[in-house]
Structure 1
Amino acid sequence: MKIATWNVNSVKARLPNVLSWLNAAAPDVVLLQEIKCETASFPALEFEPLGYRVHAVGQKSYNGVAILSRLPVEDLIERLPGEPEDVQARYVEGTIGGLRIASLYLPNGNPVGSEKYPYKLRWMERLKAHVGELLAREVPFVLGGDYNVIPAPEDVYDPEGWSGDALFRRETREKFREILNLGLTEAFRALHPAARHAYTFWDYQAGAWPRDLGLRIDHFLLSPQAADRLAGCTIDRSPRGQEKASDHTPVLLDLAD
């Protein structure tokens, strides 16, 4: 099974780019983040000729996640458990081919001095609790998406300059490690432990893309059963260099049968 994750930064604005990439890469499952449209206005008909059924969870103008699948999707949940009053569209999960697969858009958390950072940390704590429940049920799963977490200094072009940012603060990285330490595998680093400049995001400002001033914030976390099937995980930089590109680029996960 081939699974892709991509923060598209508005599915309507990037639609030609997204369709072109999907036609070439042909993943079985696609996890999208920041679709930036309400559920009913997601352009699902555009994806049908490529064989994808769309399961979107959107809201007006910002956030929003989706699962596109060539295989049937069952038992969908459309919110991360643990905070019923949280109505932001950041999580969708379903069973596909015997795996629980989720598309998630973890909060950015900036500015750190606002309520946005405690919300980010609470969201990560909720994710940790949900992972614990999935592990207790011995459900094989893949959690893919934009985590807005820079795991380590080698995952950012300027570690010192980013030290106070919500994506790289010590508390953020500690929460991320707590989730991993439950027994998960971070797919890209497991296969490419020495990779540098393996970025998935480049800001639109200050020539970040041509200067390769990037961050690695889009990740796949795998349960032990899914990790046993890990055959590949790659970052495809090519979409970031196109006209009207998203500021993120896709990450591809390959799982053996």
Structure 2
Amino acid sequence: MKIATYNVNGINGRLPVLLRWLDAARPDVVALQELKAPDEAFPEAELAKLGYSAIWQGQSRWNGVALLSRVGALHETQRGLPGDPSDTQSRYLEAAVNGIIVAGLYLPNGNPRPGPKFDYKLAWFERLIARAEELLASNLPVMLIGDFNVMPTEQDVYKPERWVDDALFAPEARAAWFRLVDQGWADALRQLHPHKTIYTFWNYWRNAFERDAGLRIDHALLSPALLPRLKSVSVDRTPRGWEKTSDHAPLVIELAD
């Protein structure tokens, strides 16, 4: 079973890239972020032609998350992160599919820091930590997957000294990440590649992708019930090199049946 996360940076503007990648890579379940489209503009029919059913939480111009499956129905278990009824940003979608719980998320960027956007990022992180604790308590096989907008360590960022004032590398955000992981989650990539420099995001400017001047901000966390099934973790860099593509590349996790 292959589960992927992919920040598409605008699902309709990048739809040819997404469809091309899905057709070539054939992941079983995909968490998408940054749809930048309202619910009614989600390309359900185009995805169905490739065999994918979908659930989604759209939002005009910003945010938006979706889950895709070609291995069975998606049984939604949570729409929106609990804990703040006033929060209308589309950033969290959770479902049971093919015997596991997949929580797809798009954590706030938080820039500029300090300021209200950074405060929102930290508050959202606290709500994620609370929901993650509930999921762990279920003892079910669970994966938290998506764009976390945090580089946990200096190994996860090209030239970390340039990012000391950025919300993605802020001490408070990194501390929240480790509080989350220390609940008992396993960082899938670091389980299998503890010392390797691997990125999932490259800016469009200054030939960042060609120079491999990137960031690791897309992550997959596995619950203890799911960790024994972990077979491989990789970043599919191929679509990042295509024209009119996202600035992210898909992170792909393979699980044993």
Q: Which residue of 1 aligns with 2:148?
A: 147
Q: Quote the Cα distance in structure 1 between the aligned partners of 2:57 and 2:5.
A: 15
- What letter matches 2:160 in structure 1? P
Q: Which residue of 1 aligns with 2:195?
A: 194
Q: Which residue of 2 aligns with 1:177?
A: 178
- What letter matches 2:224 in structure 1? P
Q: Which residue of 1 aligns with 2:66?
A: 66
- Gap regions ≥5 residues in structure 1: none
Q: Where do 4+ consecutive residues of structure 1 move more than 4 Å?
A: none
Q: Quote the Cα distance in structure 2 between the aligned partners of 1:75 and 1:120.
A: 24
8 Å Cα contact 2:54-2:74 kept in structure 1 = no
Q: Which residue of 2 aligns with 1:164?
A: 165
Q: Quote the Cα distance in structure 2 between the aligned partners of 1:219 and 1:91.
A: 14
Q: How does 1:27-106 map to 2 (within 5 A)?
A: 27-70=27-70, 71-106=72-107
Q: Quote the Cα distance in structure 1 between the aligned partners of 2:144 and 2:75.
A: 16
- What letter matches 1:204 in structure 2? Y
> CA shift at 1:206, angstroms?
2.3
- What letter matches 2:248 in structure 1? H
Q: Which residue of 2 aligns with 1:220?
A: 220
Say what the alpha-carbon RMSD is for the aligned residues: 0.9
- What letter matches 1:128 in structure 2? I
Deviations 1:7-59 (A, max 9, x none): 00001111111111111110110110001001121011001121101101011
> CA shift at 1:74, angstroms?
1.1
Q: Quote the Cα distance in structure 2 between the aligned partners of 1:152 and 1:15.
A: 32
2:248 counterpart SS class: coil
Deviations 1:91-130 (A, max 9, x none): 1000011211011000000001220001101111111100
- What letter matches 2:125 in structure 1? M
> CA shift at 1:77, angstroms?
1.8
1:202 counterpart SS class: coil
TM-score by length of 1: 0.98
> CA shift at 1:242, angstroms?
0.6
Q: Quote the Cα distance in structure 1 between the aligned partners of 2:9 and 2:233.
A: 22
- What letter matches 2:73 in structure 1? P
Q: Which residue of 2 aligns with 1:9?
A: 9
- What letter matches 1:39 in structure 2? D
Q: Quote the Cα distance in structure 2 between the aligned partners of 1:91 and 1:57.
A: 8
Q: Quote the Cα distance in structure 1 between the aligned partners of 2:55 and 2:209.
A: 31
1:117 counterpart SS class: helix
2:113 is aligned with 1:118: no
> CA shift at 1:75, angstroms?
3.4
> CA shift at 1:194, angstroms?
1.3
- Gap regions ≥5 residues in structure 2: none
> CA shift at 1:210, angstroms?
1.8
1:142 counterpart SS class: strand
> CA shift at 1:228, angstroms?
1.3
Q: Quote the Cα distance in structure 2 between the aligned partners of 1:33 and 1:220.
A: 14
Number of equivalent positions: 256
